Amino acid sequence: MIKARGLARRFTTKLGPVDAVRGVDIDVAEGELVGFLGPNGAGKSTTLRMLTTLLQPTAGEAIVAGHDLLSDPAGVRRNIGYVGQKNGAGADQRVADELALQARFYGLSKHEARRKAGDLLERFELQGMEKRAVITLSGGQQRRLDIAMGMLHDPRLLFLDEPSTALDPQSRRNLWDHIKQLKADGTTVFLTTHYLDEADFLSDRLLVIDHGSIVGEGSPDELKNSVSGDLVVLGTPQAAVVATKFPDAVVEDEKVSFRIPNGDRSLPGLLRDLDNLGVELHSVQVHRPTLDDVFLTMTGRSLREETNAGQNYLG
C-alpha cells in the first residue's frame, strides 16, 4: 500500500533550511494499521502530507495505493483518504451539507452521496445529527465526522494525522474502536500520534520517527522486548553501594535504578542478596518496559517530557 524510499523535505525559512524529514523509507502492507509515533516536530505531519500529495518532497520517491506519488498524484488521491491534524469540517456548516460537499468533491452522484453519507453517519454513530451545525457536535463527534468525510469515496488507504488529540479519555476510546473497525473492514490505516497509549493500543506495527529520521520499527511488543530487561528502582540510603553491583545503574538521591531480565522472577533472589550485604531497603518498584522506555533507549530522551499537552493521556 505504501512503499516510500528516501522521502525527504527541506523547508527554507528566514532562519535557514529546516530538514523536517531526512530521507525515510516506509513500507505498509495491505490491511495493516501502522502507527507513526514521534514527539512534536519530529516530522510526522510533513511525511503524511508528502505521502498524500499535499506537499512536494525535496527528494525520494513513493508508490502509494498502487500509484506513483510524483508522476500520478491524481491516482494516489483517488485511492486514499486523508484526515488532517486540524478539524476538516466547517464549523458553521450542517453535518449533512459538509458530507454532501465532500462527496461532490470526490465526484459522487447526488444519489450515491446521500446513500454513502447515510451509511457513514450510522457507522460513526452520528445518526440523527445531519441537521446540526458542526460546531455544536462534541469533540469526539467532530473527529468521527472528519473521518467519515475521509471515507466517502471508499479509499483503500486512510491517513489520519493525530486522530485523538484534544479528546477526553472516553471519546478517545470510542474513536479508537472506530479506527479498529475500519481496519477490520479491510481499510489500510496509517496514523500519526505522539501518544504512547494510542500507538500501543491501535498499531499492528509502529514506525518511530525522531528529528526527521526513522529510529525504530516493529510491533509494540517487539519494540518493548527490544529494551533489555525490566527497570528496578530501589529506595535505599546505600544507593551508591548498590549501584556498584550493576554496570548500568543510575543513582538519584536515595534511589538507584537499573535493568534486570525477568524482573518478576529474579527480584526476590536479588533482594535476599542485598539484605545479606546489609543494605537497608525502603521501597522496591519494578517496571515492565513501556513504549516510552523504547523511545528513551532509541534516542536518549523520554517522549513523555516532550508531550506535555498530552500528559493526562499518557497511560
Ligand X SMILES: Nc1ncnc2c1ncn2[C@@H]1O[C@H](COP(=O)(O)OP(=O)(O)OP(=O)(O)O)[C@@H](O)[C@H]1O
Q: How far apart are CA 19 and CA 60, in angstroms?
A: 14
Pairwise CA distance, residues 301 & 287, whole Å: 18
**Residue number, 44 or 153, with CB nearest to ligand X:** 44
**Closest C-alpha among 161, 200, 152 to residue 314:** 200
Residue 108 to residue 75: CA distance in whole angstroms? 16
Nearer to ligand X, 42 or 206 (CB): 42
Give the shortest CB-109-to-ligand X separation in angstroms. 36
Closest CA to 46 of 59, 27, 63: 59
Exactly one of 36, 45, 140, 263 binds Mg ion (CB under 5 A); which one?
45
The distance of closest approach from Cβ of residue 43 to ligand X in the complex, given in angstroms and rounded to an integer, is 4
CB of 11 to ligand X, least distance (A): 3
The site string for ligand X over 33-52 (x = CB under 6 A, - otherwise) reads -----x-xxxxxxx------
Q: Please name which of 220, 298, 285 lies closest in space to residue 258, comparing C-alpha atoms.
A: 285
> What CA–CA distance (Å, rounded) separates 191 from 196?
13
Please say which residue, 44 or 116, places its beta carbon nearer to ligand X.
44
46 binds Mg ion (CB under 5 A): no
Q: Which is nearer to Mg ion, 44 or 77 (CB)?
A: 44
Residues in the chain: 315
Tell me if 150 contacts ligand X by CB under 6 A.
no
- Name the site residues for Mg ion (rule: CB under 5 A): 44-45
- Name the site residues for ligand X (rule: CB under 6 A): 11, 13, 18, 20, 38, 40-46, 85, 194
